[in-house]
Structure 1
């Protein structure tokens, strides 16, 4: 069972998300909060796998709360998906740097919200279709946590290909189909790449893919 927390100051939004997610057999909403501080207090009491996080909230906004989750070893296993009405470049960039595993806008299809929860829980990254690759390119242009020249040297040819597909936004299952691998083998490749590059999460791998030139804006 995937345990979910909802962080949004609008009760109606939380109620809609809860109804959608609780209808899924493998997802359960276990925490609701209207602000960042209340969310953090709840997360320290209740085990959670995924947080659906609004950005603009009173008493600790979503970006601040995401940073706090990423910085707290006790909350290290929690994956944050930002869900907001504001599809602004600076919000996406700050969310990725804060450690978010995904970014969706609230007018996304319901199935994509459910998919985002499952993807985040599986260690995948999911971005709203409207959050284009140019935004990831901008993130990459300002991120130098892995030296571009040295990053690819640590990878095998197969791992470079897997990293390219991660950079294109493919999930482990999609990578497996693309490269004619088993899903387990694809997942193993991604895990090894993360370990070699000391990447904190899958979104960081996307940044590295852009930074090293494996993927570029407009890649087809």
Structure 2
């Protein structure tokens, strides 16, 4: 883990921890911009561990998953981490996660975002349109669903047959209207509301 983190662009490793108590102690002492913790340090009872971190640190946690399962992903997000990256992911994903969280955002790899929406069947699917979506235009609802599916602006543009600049504008308006910080939070909203294709896309 140390070697991986030491290779992240414009990042400095200021401390390490081998157990939960040391993680909490070192975080309070060093006050790092980002905490990167293996899943064994965060889970189980991850919410309790994250809540013990200083308030300026608890919102800046990246979990590096030693093993990658849907259950672990769900537990990590419930624990309050702002990024979940499997150790098997490309180094670029760790770079992006640390940079995003350090800037106050969140990050999930594209394939993880897609799983978040597609594989959590325990979330009830709604037949009625959630009230939050009434703030959006029909096109913005379509873009939101595709963002939740983990698609890039280019992929959304191809799907909806519009320009990438148009998609970017739609995404910006969606985030503003729904008071979401970034695309990851938009994807989490899609999952949390139990949205499905029939809920957002016109029926043929």
Band the TM-score falls in, shorter-chain normalisation: 0.5 to 0.7
Residue of 17, 21, 30 corresponding to 1:37 = 21
Asked if 1:19 corresponds to 2:3, the answer is no
Is this contact kept in 2: 1:53–1:62, CA < 8 A?
no
> In 2 relative to 1, CA 132–194 (structure 1 residues): closer, same or farther, beyond 3 Å?
closer
Gap runs ≥5 in structure 2: 200-204
Distance 2:99 2:198 in 1: 25
Larger Rg: 2
Contact 1:163 1:190 in 2 (8 A): yes
- Please identify which structure carries the higher strand content: 1
Listed as ranges, the matches of 1:37-76 within 5 Å are 37-57=21-41, 61-62=42-43, 64-65=45-46, 68-69=49-50, 74-75=55-56
Larger mean CA deviation between 207-216 and 93-102 belongs to 207-216
Q: What CA distance in whole angstroms lies between the structure 2 residues aligned with 1:99 and 1:128?
A: 19
**Contact 1:66–1:99, Cα closer than 8 Å, also in 2:** yes
Cα distance in 2 for residues equivalent to 1:209 and 1:141? 14
- SS in structure 2 at match of 1:56: helix
> 1:212 and 2:199 equivalent?
no
User: Paired residues, what number?
Assistant: 190
Specify the SS of the correspondent of 1:31: coil
Q: CA deviation at 1:180?
A: 0.3
CA distance in 1, matches of 2:5, 2:81: 20
Are the aligned partners of 1:104 and 1:128 in contact in 2 as well (CA < 8 Å)?
Answer: no
- Unaligned regions of 5+ residues in structure 1, if any? 1-12
Note closer, same or farther for the CA distance 1:71–1:28 as it changes in structure 2 (3 Å cut).
same
Give the corresponding residue for 1:3.
Answer: none
User: Please, what TM-score do these two structures have when normalized by structure 2?
Assistant: 0.67
Q: 2:116 matched to 1:117?
A: no
Matching of residue 28 in structure 1 with residue 12 in structure 2: yes
Is the 1:82–1:102 contact (alpha carbons within 8 Å) kept by the matching residues of 2? yes
